[in-house]
Amino acid sequence: MPFSDYKTALVTGASSGIGAAVVERLRRENIEVHAVARSAEALQQLAARTGCVAHVIDVTDRQAMAELARRVEFDILVNNAGVDRPKKFLEADEGDIDLIVDVNLRAVLHICRLVVPGMVARDRGHVINISSIAGAYNFGGNSSYHATKAGVSMLSNQLRIDAFGKRVRVTEICPGRVATDIFNHVHGDDPSIRERFIDGFELPQAADIADAIAFAIAAPVAVNIGHMEITPTLQVMGGLQTAKPQPSAKPDQSAAAKTDQSGEPSP
């Protein structure tokens, strides 16, 4: 279904990174884009730059999102908002788990509940769910995040089943590492974070993800691009570690031996 068949879009997490890039890309196609995020200042700047309609809303505010969905019939939905609190699950904090589930999964479910039935009724629409390679592959320190992104991945598959027989397309975008500010949002605003995750790496830019989304939307109506995994060329997923069992702790155990039982992989 070409862009000319779509008129309106809703993009969450729109104030920066991939969300802002998607807003800019869709506006170039003359789509009326409603940009949702918590950052009023960043949204105002985005609106001034692109002409999007800014909504300062937290995606977990179900009433505000419902009111927006009642006022506007959306042809395109881009569920992009997400958070992370990376730590080992054995050290997980109750509040962190609730936040990750509320933003990454519960909000996506409710926004789809509010928007997708209208798409089905109109026999027209495209849902873009931004999940992550974390929904399919394992790496340490992000267990709650992995669980929510796997949920978004399964939701994307299920939406196509629930909308079967209607021209409602669903695309799951699974980015790997992308050069955005998300690492500072997650790990803290420190120059060392950029050095750790961005500087010196060859990474996709937010605009590259937005272009991939535009490609999926612009495909003919008979084509549903269901799943796109987008990673740096120099990034791979997977790996294997094998640990030796640690001896039982003893009262006179040395500090060095205690460090060895931290769970970190040995050299």
Using alpha carbons, list the distances in angstroms from residue 8 to 66, 77, 132, 179, 243: 16, 9, 25, 28, 53
In a domain, 267, yes or no: no
Range of the structural domain that residue 172 is part of = 3-260
Residue 126, in any domain of the structure: yes
Q: What percent of the chain lies above the pLDDT cut of 70? A: 89
Provide the domain count of the chain: 1
* Digit-coded pLDDT (tens) for 25-70: 999 999 999 999 999 999 999 999 999 999 999 999 999 999 999 9
Q: For 156-197, what is each residue's pLDDT tens digit?
A: 999 999 999 999 999 999 999 999 877 656 655 677 777 777
> Is 266 inside any structural domain?
no
Pick the closest to residue 144 from 192, 180, 99 (CA basis): 99
pLDDT at position 252 is 56
Query: How many Å apart are CA 26 and CA 125, to the nearest integer?
Result: 14
Q: Point out the residues that are catalytic.
A: 145
> What does the block give as tokens for 196?
């750790």
Question: What CATH number does residue 193 fall under?
Answer: 3.40.50.720
Q: How far is CA 210 from CA 21, 78, 205, 218, in A?
A: 6, 11, 9, 12
Output the pLDDT for position 194.
75
For the entire predicted model, the pTM comes to: 0.88
Per the domain annotation, does 151 fall within a domain? yes
